[in-house]
């Protein structure tokens, strides 16, 4: 199995959005309650660049499997070396080691991008993602109890961090 990462192009945005939208209904991964449009994600896409805030397409043996991005943590210069890592995989590709490959890539890429801290914003009930990040040495840096209203069910947000 060959796992590869390439920088996303605007032509990848429909696939990126479709993968993201495939997670909305589960109420496990994203705080969006309805699917998003390609148009609504264009500004987000344009905020990424290979030399500062990459957005990668993940493939297995040449087939699209999902995406990973670095997103700015907070809009102040002092936080420039801190990013949130987002990983979204196609449903059929989950549980095949891709999450591990993505975190390995994130950790390896961070220093060359002047990133010293990686963050994961993960719902407290998303045990698979929490387990994955903990396996890579992430620690709980914050616990925000009952902060997300998922249509009447209040969910915790856990912020995991790792110095790289």
Please tell me what DSSP assigns to residue 64: E
Check residue 138 and give its pLDDT. 98
Query: Do 20 and 88 contact (CB within 8 A), yes or no?
Result: yes
* pTM confidence score: 0.93
Extended strands (E) in the chain: 3-7, 55-60, 63-72, 82-89, 117-123, 139-150, 153-163
| pLDDT value at residue 29 | 79
What domains can be seen in the chain, in order of their start residue?
A: 3-163 (3.40.630.30)
Question: Residues 22, 90: contact at Cβ < 8 Å?
Answer: yes
Phi and psi torsions of 129, nearest 5°: -70, -40
CA dist., res. 70 & res. 86, Å (int): 7
Give per-10-residue mean pLDDT for the chain (164 aa): 95 97 81 90 96 96 96 93 96 90 98 98 95 98 96 95 98
Q: Is the dihedral of CA 153, 72, 111, 142 positive or negative?
A: negative
Helices 127-135 and 98-109 cross at an angle (nearest 10°) of 50
User: What pLDDT, on a 0 to 100 scale, did the predictor assign at position 73?
Assistant: 92
């Amino acid at each position: 199995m060959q796992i590869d990462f390439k920088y996303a192009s605007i032509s990848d945005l429909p696939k990126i959005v479709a993968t993201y939208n495939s997670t909305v209904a589960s109420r496990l991964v994203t705080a969006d309650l309805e699917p998003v449009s390609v148009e609504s994600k264009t500004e987000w896409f344009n905020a990424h660049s290979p030399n500062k805030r990459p957005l990668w397409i993940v493939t297995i043996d040449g087939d699209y499997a999902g995406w990973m991005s670095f997103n700015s943590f907070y809009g102040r210069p002092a936080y420039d070396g801190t990013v949130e890592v987002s990983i979204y995989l196609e449903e059929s590709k989950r549980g095949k080691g891709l999450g591990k490959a993505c975190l390995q890539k994130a950790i390896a890429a961070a220093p060359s991008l002047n990133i010293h801290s990686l963050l994961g914003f993960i719902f407290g009930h998303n045990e698979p993602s929490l387990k994955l990040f903990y396996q890579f040495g992430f620690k709980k840096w914050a616990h925000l109890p009952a902060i997300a209203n998922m249509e009447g069910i209040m969910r915790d947000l856990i912020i995991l961090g790792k110095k790289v």
